[in-house]
Structure 1
Amino acid sequence: MEARSDALLGRLAAAAHSLRPWLRIHVSLTSSHWWTRVLLAGGARLRSLDGADLRGADLTGAYLTGADLRDAHLRRANLTGADLRDAHLDGANLTGANLTDTDLRHAHLDGANLTGANLSRADLRDAYLRRANLIGADLSKARLRRAWLRGADLTHANLIEATLDGADMRDAQLNEATLTAAHLSNTHLGGADLTGANLDGADLDGADLMGVTWSERTRWPGALAKAMRKRSVSIGVGRYRVQGSGRSGADLSVPPIPVA
């Protein structure tokens, strides 16, 4: 964080900076958000919250950039509008947590449990959510451009108007997920399961759909439904798998590859 030297924040930051290299100031969640910024600007460090029990905690607007919250217990915690850029939340339990409007750019959430969490309008650009549990999560209007969601479970998730351009969603579970009007341009969906998913009005321009599984209940946007039927082979019980060239706008003259 940069602050002008002649500004109040700049002067306080300078005062907070230790003249002794061996002295370390640790900031806790009990500090006010404004004072936390001052101390961090002066060289303080957030103390590790690895495995901390923060169930139901009110962390509205908290400044937690780069915080270590790996395996932390944050069930039903309120993190509305919090700053969690570059934070480490791998394996954290965020079941039912409120993360509305939260800044999670570049955050690490691999293997985190976000079942039923509210992530509406959250900024998750370039975030790591590999193998994360997002069953029933609300990601409406969330920004997930270039996010890493490989192997994530998004069953019954709400992704209405979510921005997922360029995201890695290979092998993701999107069963019964709602992706109405979602932005999926150049998204990597290879091997994903879209059984019963609703993609009505979604933008799939340039998306990689090679090996995607879908069903009779899956709703494709516009004319893409007919194209997907031509490019897919039946794998039984009303389900299909996309074969041939993977891109959504691929040449349909490329014959499908039979399932072994």
Structure 2
Amino acid sequence: MRALVSNLALFAALAALAAGPAGAEQDMLLGADMASPAMTRAEVSRADIEAMIAGAAGRPIDLSNKALSGLDLSGLDLRGANLRTARLNRASLRGTDLSGANLEQSWFLKADLSGAKLVGARMFGITAREANLSGADLSRSVPIGDFRGAIMSGAILADLKGGADIKNQSMGLMRTVFVSVNLSGANLRGADLGRARLDFADLRGADLTGAVLMGADLSGADLTGATVAGAEFRNADVGGARLLGLKGEDRALGWAERVNAERAIARRAD
């Protein structure tokens, strides 16, 4: 039964990620019973997982498809762990090392990952709405999933791979969903967010140096004081976005090719 619930939820999640803006948020949780034990409870304890780590003698452990919601897994060494399709809703992973972990199609609704290490983690199809990732290190990760309403203030997202793969016709519309995400002060240097959804995101003071934002939805986003030198804005929708006090604006790429630039909130020349 757990596998059936997971598969139904996964199908809905992937369909939503590939959907247009109108359906991406509405359908993400369709087909999943969020009140079921599979989504709200844990089938093992922290002590069980600590025993698995000890017994693995440094090898990555396998927690794929496990119900781990609500567990305190803070500070554990889960480098390279297989957490594919696992449910960790409202779990605490503060300071946990998940570098190189497989988090594909996993669930982290309202989970606490503040200060966690997710360097190079694979997050294709992840659902992490309203998760706390403040100060987390997601550099070189692949967060193709739903992070709507998450907190990523001060997080490191340098060189992450969150852009849509337009060369793959079957998966070309899969994208990172950072709708209404708090990315204030985040390090997004060199991040690939091509065609990503960043509408209404808080990017105040963020470092977007060299980031790829081509075709991204930045409508309603707040980029006040952000650094944009070398960032690619071609075809990015900035309608209603706050573009005040930008640093390196004169070195941004594709700046003249933004969409809805006349509707952005920018400082006008006297």
Q: Would the TM-score normalized by the shorter structure come out above 0.5?
A: yes
Q: CA deviation at 1:162?
A: 0.3
**TM-score, length basis structure 2:** 0.69
How do residues 96-111 of structure 1 correspond to structure 2 at under 5 angstroms?
96-111=110-125
Partner of 2:236: 212
Partner of 1:50: 64
Q: Which amino acid aligns with 2:160?
A: A
Q: Higher strand fraction: Structure 1 or Structure 2?
A: 1
Aligned-pair Cα RMSD in Å: 2.7
Which segments of structure 1 move beyond 3 Å, counting only runs of 4 or more? Answer: 35-40, 42-45, 232-236
The reply to whether residue 67 of structure 1 matches residue 90 of structure 2 is no
1:56-84: CA deviation from partner (whole Å, max 9, x where unpaired): 11111111111110011111111111111
Q: CA deviation at 1:30?
A: 2.5
Q: Which amino acid aligns with 1:95?
A: L
1:152-174: CA deviation from partner (whole Å, max 9, x where unpaired): 11111000000000011001111
Partner of 1:121: 135
SS for the counterpart of 1:62 is coil
Q: Higher helix fraction: Structure 1 or Structure 2?
A: 2
Partner of 2:22: none
Q: CA deviation at 1:50?
A: 1.1
1:148-197: CA deviation from partner (whole Å, max 9, x where unpaired): 11221111100000000001100111111100000000001110000010
Partner of 1:197: 221
* Structure 2 unmatched runs, 5+: 1-44, 164-174, 265-270
Match of 1:112 among 113, 119, 126: 126
Question: Is contact 1:36–1:63 with CA below 8 Å preserved after alignment?
Answer: no
For residues 209 and 91 of structure 1, do their structure 2 counterparts lie closer, same or farther at Cα, with a shift above 3 Å needed?
same
Identity %: 34
1:25-78: CA deviation from partner (whole Å, max 9, x where unpaired): xxx953575x766654x46552x2111101111111111111110011111111
Quick one: distance in 1 between partners of 2:48 and 2:109?
A: 25
How do residues 173-184 of structure 1 correspond to structure 2 at under 5 angstroms?
173-184=197-208
Quick one: distance in 2 between partners of 1:36 and 1:68?
A: 13
Larger CA Rg, structure 1 vs 2: 1
For residues 44 and 232 of structure 1, do their structure 2 counterparts lie closer, same or farther at Cα, with a shift above 3 Å needed?
closer
1:195-224: CA deviation from partner (whole Å, max 9, x where unpaired): 010000000000011110111x21114364
Question: Is contact 2:80–2:99 with CA below 8 Å preserved after alignment?
Answer: yes
Match of 2:99 among 65, 85, 88: 85
Question: Is contact 1:56–1:75 with CA below 8 Å preserved after alignment?
Answer: yes
For residues 44 and 171 of structure 1, do their structure 2 counterparts lie closer, same or farther at Cα, with a shift above 3 Å needed?
closer
Q: Which amino acid aligns with 1:222?
A: G
**TM-score, length basis structure 1:** 0.72
Question: Is contact 1:168–1:187 with CA below 8 Å preserved after alignment?
Answer: yes
Q: Which amino acid aligns with 1:168?
A: D
The reply to whether residue 167 of structure 1 matches residue 191 of structure 2 is yes
Quick one: distance in 2 between partners of 1:45 and 1:233?
A: 44
Partner of 2:256: 231
The reply to whether residue 147 of structure 1 matches residue 164 of structure 2 is no
Q: CA deviation at 1:90?
A: 0.3
SS for the counterpart of 2:238 is strand
* Structure 1 unmatched runs, 5+: 1-27, 241-260
Question: Is contact 1:195–1:239 with CA below 8 Å preserved after alignment?
Answer: no
